[in-house]
Amino acid sequence: MNGSPVIEVSNLMRQFGDRTVLKDISFNVDRGETLVIMGGSGCGKSTLLRHIIGSMKPTSGSVKIFGEEITTMSEREIERIRKRFGMLFQSGALLASLTVGENVALPLEQHTAKSPEEIEEAVEQKLKMVGLSGFEDLKPAEISGGMKKRVGLARALALDPELLFSDEPTSGLDPIMTAVVDQLTLKLTHGEHLTAVVVTHDMTSAFRIATRMIMLGHGSIVAQGTPGEIRNSSNPEVQQFINGEADGPIPLNLSQEEHEHHQQVKPRPFFSARYRFHRKTA
Can you say how many angstroms the Cα of residue 178 is from the centroid of all Cα atoms in its chain? 15
The residue from 82, 218, 261, 268 that contacts another protein (CB under 8 A) is 82
Which span sits near another protein by CB under 8 A: 6-14, 15-23, 58-66, 88-96? 88-96
Q: Would you give the binding string for another protein spanning residues 36-75, x where CB under 8 A is met?
A: -----------------x-x--------------------
Q: Can you tell me whether residue 19 is helix, strand or coil? A: strand
From CA 279, how far away is CA 282, in angstroms rounded?
5
Q: Does the footprint of another protein cover residue 111 (CB under 8 A)?
A: yes
Q: Give min distance, CB of 140 to another protein, in A.
A: 10
Q: Does the footprint of another protein cover residue 80 (CB under 8 A)?
A: yes
Is the C-alpha dihedral spanning 16, 17, 21, 26 positive or negative? positive
From CA 121, how far away is CA 49, in angstroms rounded?
32
What is the identity of the amino acid at 110?
Answer: Q
Q: Does the footprint of another protein cover residue 89 (CB under 8 A)?
A: yes
Q: Does the footprint of another protein cover residue 83 (CB under 8 A)?
A: yes
Which span sits near another protein by CB under 8 A: 36-44, 81-89, 119-127, 168-176? 81-89
For the chain, the helix, strand and coil percentages under 3-state DSSP, each to the nearest 5: 40, 20, 35
Q: Does the footprint of another protein cover residue 110 (CB under 8 A)?
A: yes
Other C-beta atoms lying within 10 Å of the C-beta of residue 128:
12
Q: Is 200 in contact with 90 (CB distance < 8 Å)?
A: no
Q: Does the footprint of another protein cover residue 128 (CB under 8 A)?
A: no
Q: Give min distance, CB of 172 to another protein, in A.
A: 15
Between strands 68-69 and 7-16, the pairing is unpaired
Q: Is 32 in contact with 194 (CB distance < 8 Å)?
A: yes
Q: Give min distance, CB of 34 to another protein, in A.
A: 19
Interface residues toward another protein, by CB under 8 A? 53, 55, 78-80, 82-83, 87, 89-91, 93-97, 106-107, 110-111, 155
